[in-house]
């Protein structure tokens, strides 16, 4: 059974994609306000997809605003029984 | 000479009949291929035209299209063209939290274009609905899924009759949200520019050439360069979903290697991204010697980025002459100039003093660059036969060789104007020349771009292009790349240079040190001392919907004393949730309203009480169903 902590994964992804160390990520963090450009954000999404073996549909991503929203989306896409926290 | 001479796009689609060996291949996110031969594309266009005609759509009617995937977009676009309709391609919602500004832009564009229908995916409908009730001209939504179904009976599949002056489609440019401008591209423009690109520029051969593109199809370079021009000249194309490229940039070069692509185009940033993401084992595996044109345009070309790309990819056998800087814009349909196929990236090194004070490009030795006494500009090549580029000063006098002024263009590719916007059309297209708004010069017939006219900074009688200052600032350690803005403000004796940038700094000392290095860098390279350097928190400067920093807005915020404050103002998750909740609510409301309108229309036809009750029950079911699902 997989356990995923979204803020940790998010910070790892941001570091890999943009070289930025962001250490204050919580569920309330608004992704658009992190100063990542639109390309970096999509690369970050790719990072999540690769790590978790999921596919996030574009139309669902359009509605994601906060890290918690992302968490909810991930939770919905992960196999049942997986533990997703933020 | 190309063997293909169709008088218009509809005839070009018709020439596809019986050609089954080549066509367009669409990759999906898992790299599965979907192939449409030329013949299939013609059949799809006919079928989709019939579907659209069934809705009562006729020649000249606009249809908006929000279709993110090529396999839906391309056949639908061709079908609309076949029926003589005017497609209005629009970009799909951008991901992660930009929905509100997206909706505003979408509504503004739709109200300008006044489409009768919007074509989108059924799964996109809910996201889009929130804005659509604000668009009076819209009769409804047609789903791409519906267009895929068998052609309706008894509806004509004949090609529309069009003349050169007829509108082919509307190309909306990324202007401001409040006043979007749609370029009216005619059928004559498309034929002329397709010929310029595919015959004069790329000398394509349909037996050999193979395009590879990840460019968005709602953008001129993706749509005209890889859908329309190749259809005219029957060059096969492999399409990569834009989002797949963004998620994994090396997919672009991987695909070129795999399908033996010969032609591809991208803006500067993509070359930087692809270089950054490529790994040594990929370079060892790839053979990019097949490529004859790595076109680069659509945004300022940074010679450093391009040199790094050529150098890196030489390990994958890239031929340096494959690099093809070019110049173009939607108002000129697409392409204005290309360098020749056998030429490689070249730059012009000119004297800074003469450039800034006399507005002249005087060549000097390259060594002056290191001393900070010269500027370097990329050669964007010559314009195409039948077209002309001229350089003009502000009084409208035509300037000579190596004099810097506004670049203007005339010829058969120059569009008719902006759709239903006579004032903007007169300003930009009036007097027989298209005023590009770009500053540049001509040398030996080659076009060199130095910057955007409206952004130019004039200090002590010298001209500076903000982009060049921003590139310098980007190079300073600690500055977030692509997050600096240069502009001027009135000072005591002349304008003064202000630089605003985003960075993370831990302490006051670090902040001061960073400001000092930025000043130092500009002084060294430009002999210009910024009056002020402002360091703002990451993500706090105003950006456009496509993520580019907004110079004029940043300048205004600076003058108002509010620059960098926006990001600090913590909205908190509740405010964000309110925005989203409003969306969902608006979407529901929009749907119910539309449904109510449709029912009202139906109600007029009601023949009996049972019929009326049945229809009302249907409406009730619909509303409770939707609300039940969403909450």
A37 in reach of chain B (CB within 8 A): yes
Across the interface, whether the CB atoms of B247 and A42 are under 8 A apart is answered yes
CB-CB: which of B126, B246, B546 is closest to A42? B246
Residues of chain B with pLDDT under 70: 1-2, 94-98, 101, 174-178, 461, 492-494, 544-548, 565-631
* A24: chain B residues, CB-CB within 8 Å: none
Across the interface, whether the CB atoms of A58 and B547 are under 8 A apart is answered no
Give domain status of residue B429, yes or no: yes
Clarify whether residues B83 and B187 are in a common domain.
yes
Clarify whether residues B419 and B522 are in a common domain.
no
pLDDT at B567: 43
pLDDT at B623: 53
Clarify whether residues B110 and B56 are in a common domain.
yes
pLDDT at B2: 66
Clarify whether residues B553 and B496 are in a common domain.
yes
Tens digit of pLDDT for each residue in B504-525? 877 888 888 999 999 888 887 7
Give domain status of residue A84, yes or no: no
Give domain status of residue A57, yes or no: yes
Substitution target in B94, B96, B541 with the highest count of A β-carbons within 10 Å is B96
Clarify whether residues B180 and B47 are in a common domain.
yes
**Alpha helix ranges (H) inside B290-447:** 303-313, 352-357, 367-370, 422-429
**Alpha helix ranges (H) inside B430-562:** 466-474, 508-526, 551-560
B538 in reach of chain A (CB within 8 A): yes
Give domain status of residue A63, yes or no: yes
Backbone angles phi, psi at B433, to 5 degrees: -120, 140
* Domain limits for position B517: 456-560
Give domain status of residue B283, yes or no: no
Give domain status of residue A86, yes or no: no
The number of folded domains in chain A is 1
Task: Give B421 to chain A, closest Cα distance, Å.
Answer: 31
In whole angstroms, give the CA distance from residue B212 to residue B194: 17
Clarify whether residues B620 and B480 are in a common domain.
no
Clarify whether residues B476 and B625 are in a common domain.
no
Give this complex's ipTM: 0.72
A57 in reach of chain B (CB within 8 A): yes
Q: Which of A73, A21, A77 is nearest to B506 (CA)?
A: A21
Task: Give B279 to chain A, closest Cα distance, Å.
Answer: 14
What CATH number does residue A38 fall under? 1.10.1200.10
Clarify whether residues B581 and B606 are in a common domain.
yes
Exposed, middle or buried, B109 (CB in 10 Å: 0-12/13-18/19+)?
A: buried
Task: Give A73 to chain B, closest Cα distance, Å.
Answer: 12
Give domain status of residue B406, yes or no: yes
Tens digit of pLDDT for each residue in B6-51? 999 999 999 999 999 999 999 998 889 999 999 999 999 999 999 9
Give domain status of residue B112, yes or no: yes
Clarify whether residues B172 and B50 are in a common domain.
yes
* Domain limits for position A62: 3-76
A64 in reach of chain B (CB within 8 A): yes
pLDDT at B132: 86
> Where are the extended beta strands (E) located within B38-97?
62-66, 86-89
Across the interface, whether the CB atoms of A64 and B96 are under 8 A apart is answered yes
* A28: chain B residues, CB-CB within 8 Å: 572-573
- Measured between CA atoms, the residue of chain B closest to residue A34 is B539
CB-CB: which of A37, A46, A69 is closest to B547? A37
Exposed, middle or buried, B236 (CB in 10 Å: 0-12/13-18/19+)?
A: buried
* B573: chain A residues, CB-CB within 8 Å: 27-28, 30, 66, 68
Across the interface, whether the CB atoms of A46 and B94 are under 8 A apart is answered no
- Measured between CA atoms, the residue of chain B closest to residue A16 is B277
pLDDT at B578: 45
Give domain status of residue B205, yes or no: no
Q: What radius of gyration do chain B's Cα atoms show?
A: 26
């Amino acid at each position: 059974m997989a356990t995923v902590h979204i803020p940790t994964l998010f910070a790892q992804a941001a570091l890999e994609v943009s070289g930025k160390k962001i250490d204050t990520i919580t569920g309330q963090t608004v992704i658009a306000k992190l100063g990542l450009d639109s390309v970096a954000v999509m690369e970050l999404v790719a990072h999540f997809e690769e790590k978790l073996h999921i596919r996030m549909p574009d139309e669902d991503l359009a509605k994601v605003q906060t890290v918690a929203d992302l968490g909810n989306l991930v939770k919905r896409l992960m196999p049942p029984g997986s533990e997703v926290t933020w | 000479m190309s063997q293909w001479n169709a008088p218009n796009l509809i005839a070009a689609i018709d020439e596809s009949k019986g050609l089954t060996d080549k066509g367009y291949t669409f990759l999906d996110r898992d790299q599965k291929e979907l192939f449409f031969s030329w013949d299939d594309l013609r059949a799809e266009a006919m079928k989709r035209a019939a579907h659209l005609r069934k809705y009562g759509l006729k020649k000249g009617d606009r249809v908006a299209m929000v279709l993110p995937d090529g396999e839906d977009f391309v056949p639908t676009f061709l079908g609309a063209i076949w029926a003589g309709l005017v497609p209005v391609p629009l970009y799909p919602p951008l991901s992660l939290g930009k929905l509100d500004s997206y909706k505003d832009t979408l509504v503004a564009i739709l109200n300008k274009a006044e489409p009768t229908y919007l074509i989108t995916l059924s799964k996109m409908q809910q996201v889009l609905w929130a804005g659509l009730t604000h668009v009076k001209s819209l009769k409804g939504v047609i789903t791409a899924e519906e267009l895929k179904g068998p052609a309706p009976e008894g509806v004509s599949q004949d090609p529309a009759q069009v003349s050169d002056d007829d509108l082919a489609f509307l190309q909306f440019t990324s202007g401001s949200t409040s006043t979007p401008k749609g370029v009216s591209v005619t059928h004559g423009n498309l034929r002329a520019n397709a010929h310029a690109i595919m015959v004069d520029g790329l000398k394509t051969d349909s037996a050999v050439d193979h395009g590879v593109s990840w460019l968005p199809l709602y953008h001129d370079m993706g749509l005209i360069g890889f859908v329309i021009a190749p259809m005219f000249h029957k060059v096969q194309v492999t399409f990569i979903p834009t989002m797949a490229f963004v998620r994994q940039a090396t997919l672009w070069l991987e695909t070129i290697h795999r399908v033996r692509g010969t032609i591809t185009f991208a803006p500067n940033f993509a070359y930087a991204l692809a270089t950054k993401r490529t790994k040594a084992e990929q370079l060892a595996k790839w053979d990019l010697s097949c490529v004859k044109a790595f076109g680069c345009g659509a945004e300022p070309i940074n010679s450093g980025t391009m040199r790094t790309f050529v150098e890196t990819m030489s390990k994958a056998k890239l031929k340096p002459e494959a690099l093809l800087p070019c110049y173009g814009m939607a108002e000129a349909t697409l392409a204005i100039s290309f360098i020749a196929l056998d030429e490689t990236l070249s730059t012009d090194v000119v004297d800074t003093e003469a450039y800034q004070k006399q507005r002249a490009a005087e060549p000097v030795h390259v060594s002056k660059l290191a001393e900070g006494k010269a500027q370097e500009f990329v050669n964007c090549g010559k314009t195409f036969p039948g077209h002309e580029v001229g350089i003009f000063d502000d009084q409208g006098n035509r300037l000579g060789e190596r004099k810097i002024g506004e670049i203007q263009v005339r010829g058969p590719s120059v569009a008719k104007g902006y759709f239903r916007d006579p004032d903007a059309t007169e300003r930009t297209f009036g007097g027989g020349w298209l005023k590009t708004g770009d500053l540049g010069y001509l040398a030996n017939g080659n076009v060199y771009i130095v910057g955007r006219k409206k952004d130019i900074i004039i200090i002590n009688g010298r001209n500076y292009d903000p982009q060049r200052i921003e590139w310098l600032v980007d190079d300073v350690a600690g500055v977030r790349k692509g997050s600096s803005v240069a502009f001027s403000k009135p000072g005591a004796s002349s304008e003064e240079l202000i630089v605003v940038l985003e960075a993370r700094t831990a302490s006051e000392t670090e902040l001061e040190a960073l400001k000092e290095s930025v000043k130092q860098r500009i002084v060294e390279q430009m002999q210009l001392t910024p009056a002020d350097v402002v360091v703002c928190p990451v993500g706090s400067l105003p950006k456009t919907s496509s993520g580019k920093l907004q110079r004029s807005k940043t300048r205004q915020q600076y003058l108002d004393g509010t620059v960098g404050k926006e990001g600090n103002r913590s909205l908190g998750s509740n405010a964000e949730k309110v925005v989203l909740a409003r969306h969902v609510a608006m979407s529901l409301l929009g749907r119910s309203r539309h449904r109510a309108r449709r029912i009202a229309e139906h109600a007029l036809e009601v023949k009996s009480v049972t019929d009326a009750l049945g229809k009302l029950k249907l409406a009730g079911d619909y509303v409770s169903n939707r609300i039940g699902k969403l909450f």
